[in-house]
Amino acid sequence: MDSLVRYAENGIITHQMEALSHAEGISPEIIAERIAEGSIVIMQRDDRMTGIGAGLSTKINVNLGTSTGKVSVEDEIEKVRIAEMFGADTISDLSMGGDINAIRKAVFENSTLPITTVPVYPAAVENGLKEMTDDDIFATLRRHADEGVSSIVVHCVNRAMLESFRKNKRILGMVSKGGSITSAFMLINECENPFVERFDEVLSLCKKRDIVLSLGNTARSGCIHDCRDRMQLEELRQNIALAHRAHENGVQVIIEGCGGHIRSDRISKYVKQYKKQSPFPLFVAGPLPTDIAAGYDHIAGCVGGSMASTAGADYLCYITPAEHLGLPNPEAVKEGLIAFKIAAHIGDTVKYGKDAKDKKIAHIRATLDPKGQIVHALDPARAQAFSDEEDECTMCGEFCAIRIMRQY
User: Count of alpha carbons within 13 Å of 374, Cβ hemisphere only?
Assistant: 17
3-state secondary structure of 162: helix
Burial of 313 (0-12, 13-18, 19+ CB in 10 A): buried
Burial of 391 (0-12, 13-18, 19+ CB in 10 A): exposed
Element housing 54 (H / E): none
Residue 317's nearest CA partner among 157, 91, 104, 117 is 91
Instruction: Confirm or reject binding of residue 132 to its own copies (CB under 8 A).
Output: no
Q: Which of 106, 235, 323, 330 binds its own copies (CB under 8 A)?
A: 323
The nearer residue to its own copies, 92 or 183, going by C-beta atoms, is 183
Q: Which of 15, 105, 225, 272 binds its own copies (CB under 8 A)?
A: 225
Q: Least distance from C-beta 214 to its own copies, angstroms?
A: 18
3-state secondary structure of 184: helix
The nearer residue to its own copies, 277 or 394, going by C-beta atoms, is 394
Residue 140's nearest CA partner among 182, 80, 78 is 182
Instruction: Confirm or reject binding of residue 230 to its own copies (CB under 8 A).
Output: no
The nearer residue to its own copies, 104 or 207, going by C-beta atoms, is 104
Instruction: Confirm or reject binding of residue 191 to its own copies (CB under 8 A).
Output: no
The nearer residue to its own copies, 30 or 361, going by C-beta atoms, is 361
In whole angstroms, what separates CA 338 from the centre of its chain? 14
Strands, E, within 176-319: which ranges?
212-215, 253-256, 282-285, 315-317
Q: Mark 251-290 with x for binding to its own copies (rule: CB under 8 A) and - for no binding.
A: ------------xxx-----------------------xx
Instruction: Confirm or reject binding of residue 229 to its own copies (CB under 8 A).
Output: no
Q: Which of 251, 293, 313, 333 binds its own copies (CB under 8 A)?
A: 293
Instruction: Confirm or reject binding of residue 363 to its own copies (CB under 8 A).
Output: yes
Single-letter residue type at 276: K
Contacts of its own copies in 72-131 (CB under 8 A): 96-97, 121, 124-125, 129
As a whole number of angstroms, the distance between CA 135 and CA 140 comes to 9
Q: Mark 39-58 with x for binding to its own copies (rule: CB under 8 A) and - for no binding.
A: --------------------
Q: Which stretch binds its own copies (CB under 8 A): 27-35, 177-185, 192-200, 227-235?
A: 177-185
